[in-house]
């Protein structure tokens, strides 16, 4: 096995299509908040790249945004912003 690149970098080849799933409470314009955070790193997103699914009881919502990821650093920056947001319960 080559030791030129960390193992994590070998898992993805950039650019690539990459889904980001974010869960939070279905309140305070959660979808808009998440979309704005991701767009900060990707530019404008199309509505076809965004899927929203409410939880069974309607208390929570998942927002899945499929982006054209350019680099591991871009993904790290997006997940860093999502992690810092109090409205985000978790992201995958």
Q: Is 14 exposed, middle or buried (0-12, 13-18, 19+ CB in 10 A)?
A: middle
pLDDT at 4: 55
pLDDT at 66: 98
Burial track 47-85 (b if 16+ CB lie within 10 A, e otherwise): eebeeeeeeeeeebbbbbbbbebeeeebbeebbebbeee
Category of 29 on φ-ψ map: left (φ > 0), alpha (ψ -120 to 50) or beta: left
Per-residue pLDDT of the chain (92 residues; tens, 9 = 90+): 445 555 555 688 999 999 999 999 988 799 999 999 999 999 999 999 999 999 999 899 999 999 999 999 999 999 999 999 999 999 99
Residue 29 per-residue DSSP state: T
pLDDT at 7: 57
In the chain, where are the structural domains located? 29-69
pLDDT at 1: 45
pLDDT at 9: 52
């Amino acid at each position: 096995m080559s030791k030129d690149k960390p193992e994590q970098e070998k898992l993805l080849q950039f650019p690539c299509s990459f889904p980001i799933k974010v869960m939070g409470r279905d309140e305070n314009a959660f979808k808009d908040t998440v979309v704005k955070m991701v767009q900060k790193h990707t530019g404008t997103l199309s509505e076809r790249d965004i899927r929203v699914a409410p939880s069974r009881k309607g208390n929570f919502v998942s927002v899945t945004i499929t982006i054209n990821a350019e680099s591991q650093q871009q993904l790290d920056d997006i997940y860093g912003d999502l992690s810092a947001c109090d409205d985000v319960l978790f992201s995958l």
